[in-house]
């Protein structure tokens, strides 16, 4: 299955891509406030997005170490709308949950890429008056999507690619011609054909194929529903240690994150 997915990437037709728009002002960020940087105290960062006042959606491998053990929840911070050192809000993580069938192997079998989804439960919900979460939906029938992410070399502000494309689908997996890099793991793939954008996939991995960037994502609704059920049942991949460091969210002025990340991005 891994070979056939690679064949899809190599055979996919080249389509025109829009360039990246750097979102540095609050006006630029209007509509993208739910997207933020997931910072790991152990080093590195990913991209995540609010899908509920207390839930951040990101990639599963962002919260698992290379040996498959969980990154402690108390060492993860979500910085919503981070732009040039200023975030709308910074929140600690109470619990993380990843599908138990996902092992974060690198390279991962295609079947596991479809499970590369995580939910981060915030220690304190973000008021909807401050940030309104995105909803999660199945991809539409068209191939045009949009991606907003942080990445190496552009880690201090979100970059928005207004137009890229779903090239191929293989089961629950989707191949996109979107411009992503280390740090883009967990970035929301958006369908902007509605009144408000909906998340139809997230970035799991990517690379460069025949001189163009491509990315792999997955269908989300069933994955997200299963992870929500795990949290409701009291099951989690990591639960934060209790202590005085568990503070309510607040407006902050954070520093920049590190360039490194455990994201799987390759150049075949």
What gap in Å lies between CA 145 and CA 166, rounded to an integer?
Answer: 7
pLDDT tens digits along 49-84: 999 999 999 999 999 998 889 999 999 999 999 998
pLDDT at residue number 152: 87
User: Quick one: the chain helix, strand, coil %, rounded to 5?
Assistant: 10, 40, 50
- d(CA 205, CA 97) in angstroms, rounded, equals 19
Query: Tokens at residue 262, please?
Result: 């455990």
Residue 210 gets the label, from left (phi > 0), alpha (psi -120 to 50) or beta, of left
Distance CA 163, CA 18 (A): 5
Confidence (pLDDT) at 18? 57
Q: Which residues contact 181 (CB under 8 A, 6 or more apart)?
A: 151, 152, 153, 206, 213, 265
Q: The pTM is what?
A: 0.86
Mean pLDDT of the chain: 83
pLDDT tops 80 at residue 119: yes
> What's the CA gap between 246 and 267, in Å, rounded?
40
Ordered by where they begin, the domains of the chain are 21-241 (2.40.10.10)
pLDDT at 241: 87
Q: Is the pLDDT of residue 266 over 50?
A: no
For residue 216, name the pLDDT band (cuts at 50, 70, 90). very high
- 234/75 Cα distance (integer angstroms): 20
Cβ contacts of 241 within 8 Å, gap of 6 or more: 72, 74
Contact between residue 218 and residue 50 where contact means Cβ atoms under 8 Å apart:
no
Q: Judge whether residue 256 has pLDDT over 70.
A: no
**258 pLDDT tier (thresholds 50, 70, 90):** very low
**% of the chain with per-residue pLDDT over 90:** 57
pLDDT digits (tens, 9 = 90+) for 179-202: 898 889 999 999 988 778 999 999
């Amino acid at each position: 299955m891994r070979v056939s997915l690679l064949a899809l990437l190599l055979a996919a037709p080249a389509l025109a891509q829009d360039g990246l728009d750097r979102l540095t002002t609050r006006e630029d960020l209007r509509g993208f406030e739910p997207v933020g940087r997931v910072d790991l105290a152990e080093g590195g960062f990913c991209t995540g997005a609010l899908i509920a006042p207390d839930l951040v959606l990101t990639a599963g491998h962002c919260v698992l170490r290379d040996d498959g053990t969980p990154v402690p929840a108390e060492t993860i911070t979500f910085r919503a709308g981070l732009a040039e050192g200023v975030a709308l809000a910074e929140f600690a993580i109470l619990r993380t949950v990843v599908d138990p069938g996902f092992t974060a192997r690198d390279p991962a079998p295609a079947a596991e890429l479809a499970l590369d989804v995580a939910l981060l439960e915030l220690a304190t919900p973000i008021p909807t008056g401050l940030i309104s979460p995105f909803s999660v939906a199945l991809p539409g029938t068209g191939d045009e999507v949009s991606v907003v992410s942080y990445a190496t070399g552009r880690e201090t502000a979100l970059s928005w690619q207004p137009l890229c494309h779903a090239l191929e689908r293989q089961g629950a997996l989707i191949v996109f011609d979107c411009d992503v890099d280390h740090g883009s793991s967990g970035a929301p793939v958006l369908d902007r054909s509605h009144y408000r954008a909906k998340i139809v996939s997230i970035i799991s991995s990517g690379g460069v194929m025949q001189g163009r960037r491509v990315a792999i994502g997955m269908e989300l609704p069933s994955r997200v529903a299963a992870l929500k059920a795990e949290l409701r049942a009291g099951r989690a991949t990591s639960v934060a240690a209790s202590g005085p460091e568990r503070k309510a969210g607040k407006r902050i002025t954070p520093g920049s994150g590190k360039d490194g990340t455990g994201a799987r991005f390759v150049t075949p």
